[in-house]
Chains A and B, each alone.
Chain A
Amino acid sequence: MVAVQDTVKDVHALDVDKYKYGFVTDIESDMAPKGLNEGIIKFISAKKNEPEWMLELRLQAFDRWKEMEEPTWAKVSYDSIDFQDIHYYAAPKSDADRPESLDDVDPELLKTYEKLGIPLVEQALLAGVKNVAVDAVFDSVSVVTTFKESLAEAGVIFCPISEALQKHPELVKKYLGSVVPMSDNFYATLNSAVFTDGSFVYIPEGVRCPMELSTYFRINEANTGQFERTLIIAEKGSYVSYLEGCTAPMRDENQLHAAVVELIAMEDAEIKYSTVQNWYPGDAEGKGGIYNFVTKRGDCRGANSKISWTQVETGSAVTWKYPSCILRGDNSVGEFYSIAITNNHQQADTGTKMIHLGKNTRSRIISKGISAGQAQSTYRGQVNINRKAAGARNYTQCDSLLIGSKCGAHTVPYIESRNPSAIVEHEATTSKLSEEQLFYCRQRGLSEEEAVALLVNGFCRDVLQQLPMEFAVEAQKLVSISLEGSVG
C-alpha cells in the first residue's frame, strides 16, 4: 500500500507547489499575468526552484527570441498570434474549477471516450473530474507497485523534467539543448525561455527498459503544460519505447502549444518514440482549435544506434511538426512513420528531416496523409546526405488519400546528396477514396462510415503496425472517429 500512496503523491507533486514561492509578491501565485518579459521568466524559474544556470539559459533564449521572427514558410494560414496575450504560467486547475462528476462533462467528449472504449474511472480522470485518484484508474494496486519497482530496479529515471532539475541537475545540464539548440527556431526558442514541464527519461547503459513508458504517462500527462519540454537519454546498448499522448481528447483550454522533444541515443542504443495527438481541432466551421507547433529531434550520437518516430496526428487546428533524426553515428538508423489526418478546416504541415552524417547510415520514411472536408495537408520532408556519409541510404514513401473534392494534399520533398555512393529513393502517390471500393464494402454490409474507416485504416496499416500493441487498437478507432461525417 505504501507504494501506491507514493504514486499518488508523485502525481500530486506535478501540481506545482502553490504557495511555497508566494514571495514573488507582485504576481498572484497561481497564474502569471498575461504577457512575456524577464519578470515572468524569473517567476517561472523560481516557481520551479530551478538552479541558477537554468534561469540563465531561459533568459538567453528570451533575448534571442525577441530578435526572431515567426516562420511563415509552412503551408498553413491562421490569424497571427499575440504572444503578449498568453499566460505563460498557470498552476494546474484547482479543484474548484473542475467538474463535480461525469454528469457535468461535455457529452460530446464522453461520447468519444465511449467510442474509444475507455473505462469510466479513466474517463473521469481525463475529463478532469474532481477527486479521481490515479491509482483508481489502474486495474489493481499491484500494477502500480510492480511498475514503480521494476523501473527503479532497472535504474531507469522517469520523472517530470522539473523534478529532474532538482534531483539530477548534472544530467539535465549536460543534455538539455544539445539536440535542439536554444536558438534553433522561433518556437523552440520560445519554449526554451518559458517551458513549464515535460518528461525526463534516462536509461542507463545496457538496460532494456522493462515496460513501455506509456500506461503511466497516459494518466500523468493531464498535467503537462502548453510549453512542454521532454528529454530522453538512452545510454550505450539500452532500449526504451515511449508513448506520448493518448487517443482520448484532452480537456485543454490553451490555444498555442509549442513543445520541444530531444532524444539522444548512444552507441547501440534504441529509442522508439510514439505520439498520438488528438487535441481539439476546432469545430466543423473552423472556429477554435489548438495550434500545435512542435520541435522534435533525435540524435543518433553513437554508432549502430537507432531512433524511430511514429506519430498519429488527428487533432489540432494547425499542426507544424517535423520529428527529425541526426544520424551521426556510423551505421545508425532513423525512422519516421506518420499518419496525419485532417478533416473539416484542419491544416497540417508535417514531415521529417533525416540528416545523414555517419557512414552507412540508413533512414526510412513512411508518411500517410489523409485529408477530408476542406482540410489541407502537406508532407514536407528533407533528406540530407553529408559528404562523409558514404553508403548512406534513404527510402521515402509518401502516400496521400483524399476524401471528397474540397480538400488538398501536397508533397514537398527536399533531397540533398553530397556523397556519390548514397542511394536515395522517393515514392509518392495521391489517390481518392474510391466510390467503387466504398460500394463494394457496403454491398458486404458495412455502413458508409464503417467502410470509410476500414479503407482508411487499411491505407494507414504500415504505420499503425509500428505503434505499441496496446495503442494500435485505440489508434484504429481514433482514425475512424476523426473522419466521422467526412462523406455523404
Chain B
Amino acid sequence: MLEIKNLHAEVGGKEILKGLSLSIGDGEVHAIMGPNGSGKSTLSYVLSGREGYEVRQGDITYCGESLIGMLPEERAAKGVFLAFQYPLEIPGVSTMNFLRTAYNAQLKARGVEELDAASFLRMVRAKADLLKVSSEMLKRPLNVGFSGGEKKRNEILQMALFEPRLAILDETDSGLDIDALKLVADGVNALRAPDRSMLVITHYQRLLDYIIPDFVHVLSNGRIIKSGGKELALELERDGYESIVSSAA
C-alpha cells in the first residue's frame, strides 16, 4: 500500500533523505529506528506533505497513487495520519471542537455527509474512554497545558477517530512513563487491522516490546541501512546504533 522508491528530500536547502526506499504492505506494522538527526521526523513530514519538505528525486506511491504534490489535507482525507512527535497547542479551540471540525472536513473531502453533533459526541466519548481521555480534557483547548502523556493519548484518540489507512507514529513513546506507554500501546494495538498499515518511528526499542512490529528498519544519514524482523530491535538495543552503522558502512 505504500511504496517509497529512492527518495531524496531536502529541508531548508539541505538534503536530509538520501535515497530512501521502503515498501509497506496492507496491515503491516513497520518500525523505523535511528539515531537523533537521522531523518526520521523528516520522513514523516515528507509523507504527510508539510510545506518546505521538498522531494528532489524518487517517488512515493500510496494506494496506487503518487503522493508527490498532493496537499496535506488531501492526503489526510485519503487516510494518511501522522501522530506528531510534538503535538501542537491550539489555544482557544476546545479539543472536542477541533475533532469535530477536522472530522467533518475529512468527510466533506470524501463526499460523505457530516455526522450530527450528538452521534459524533457519542462516538468520541466511546473512543476516549478506551484511552482514558476524560470529558473534562475534551473541553480544554487542544493540547494547551496537557501533560506529555495527555498529548500523546490525544494523538492516538485522533488516530482512533480518523481510522487511517496509513498511520505514522513519530516517537509516540517519548516522554511517557511506563503506565502511560502501556495505555498508548494498547490503544495502538487495538487499531491494528488488515487494511491499516503503520509506520512506527522510535528511538528506543522499549515501545516495540508493546507494539510488536512485523519489520524493523534502521535509518542512518537519510537512508535505510538495515532491515529485519522484530529481533533487529533487540540487536540494536544490545549493540547500539554505532556498531550497525559502522558494519553497514
* Residues of A in contact with B (beta carbons under 8 Å apart): 434-437, 439-448, 450, 454-455, 457-462
Give the residues in chain A near B84, CB-CB below 8 Å. 440, 443
Give the residues in chain A near B87, CB-CB below 8 Å. 440
A436-B88, A439-B72, A440-B88 known; A458 and B101 CB under 8 Å? no
Q: 9 A-B Cβ contacts within 8 A?
A: A435-B52, A442-B72, A443-B50, A445-B76, A445-B102, A446-B101, A458-B93, A459-B91, A460-B92
Q: In the bound complex, how far is the Cα of B101 from the Cα of A442, in angstroms? A: 11
Q: How many residues of B contact A (CB 8 A)?
A: 29
Contact call B48/A458, Cβ cutoff below 8 A: no
Q: In the bound complex, how far is the Cα of B77 from the Cα of A437, in angstroms? A: 18
Q: Does B109 have its Cβ within 8 Å of any Cβ on chain A?
A: yes
Chain A nearest CB, measured from B89 CB (Å):
8
Contact call A450/B93, Cβ cutoff below 8 A: no
Report which residue of A441, A444, A450 has the largest number of chain B beta carbons within 10 angstroms of its beta carbon: A444
Indicate with 1 or 0, residue by residue over B93-117, a CB within 8 angstroms of chain A CB atoms.
1000010011101100100000000
Contact call B93/A442, Cβ cutoff below 8 A: no
Give the residues in chain B near A434, CB-CB below 8 Å. 88
Contact call B51/A446, Cβ cutoff below 8 A: no
Give the residues in chain B near A444, CB-CB below 8 Å. 76, 98, 102, 105-106, 158, 162
Contact call B106/A445, Cβ cutoff below 8 A: yes
Closest to B143 in A: A440
Contact call A458/B141, Cβ cutoff below 8 A: yes
A interface, over-half SS: helix
Q: In the bound complex, how far is the Cα of B93 from the Cα of A457, in angstroms? A: 8
Q: Does B82 have its Cβ within 8 Å of any Cβ on chain A?
A: yes
A442-B76, A444-B158 known; A437 and B88 CB under 8 Å? yes
Indicate with 1 or 0, residue by residue over B27-65, a CB within 8 angstroms of chain A CB atoms.
000000000000000000000101110000000000000
Contact call A445/B109, Cβ cutoff below 8 A: yes
* Residues of B in contact with A (beta carbons under 8 Å apart): 48, 50-52, 71-73, 76-77, 81-82, 84, 87-93, 98, 101-103, 105-106, 109, 141, 158, 162
Q: In the bound complex, how far is the Cα of B72 from the Cα of A442, in angstroms? A: 6
Q: In the bound complex, how far is the Cα of B50 from the Cα of A435, in angstroms? A: 9
Give the residues in chain A near B98, CB-CB below 8 Å. 444, 454
Give the residues in chain A near B162, CB-CB below 8 Å. 444-445
Q: In the bound complex, how far is the Cα of B103 from the Cα of A454, in angstroms? A: 14
Q: A437-B89, A450-B101 are in contact. List 18 more A-B contacts (CB 8 A).
A: A439-B51, A439-B72, A440-B88, A441-B90, A442-B71, A442-B72, A443-B48, A444-B105, A445-B76, A445-B77, A446-B73, A447-B71, A454-B90, A455-B90, A458-B91, A458-B141, A461-B92, A462-B92
Closest to B81 in A: A443
Contact call A443/B72, Cβ cutoff below 8 A: yes
Chain B nearest CB, measured from A431 CB (Å):
10
Contact call A446/B102, Cβ cutoff below 8 A: yes
Give the residues in chain B near A459, CB-CB below 8 Å. 91-92
Chain B nearest CB, measured from A391 CB (Å):
32
Contact call B90/A437, Cβ cutoff below 8 A: yes
Report which residue of A442, A448, A454 has the largest number of chain B beta carbons within 10 angstroms of its beta carbon: A442
Give the residues in chain B near A437, CB-CB below 8 Å. 88-90
Q: In the bound complex, how far is the Cα of B244 from the Cα of A326, in angstroms? A: 74
Chain B nearest CB, measured from A422 CB (Å):
30
Report which residue of A434, A436, A443, A457 has the largest number of chain B beta carbons within 10 angstroms of its beta carbon: A443
Chain A nearest CB, measured from B151 CB (Å):
12
Report which residue of B72, B89, B158, B162 has the largest number of chain A beta carbons within 10 angstroms of its beta carbon: B72
Closest to A464 in B: B92
Closest to B48 in A: A443
Contact call A445/B91, Cβ cutoff below 8 A: no
Contact call B105/A447, Cβ cutoff below 8 A: yes
A440-B87, A442-B71, A442-B73 known; A457 and B92 CB under 8 Å? yes
Give the residues in chain A near B106, CB-CB below 8 Å. 444-445
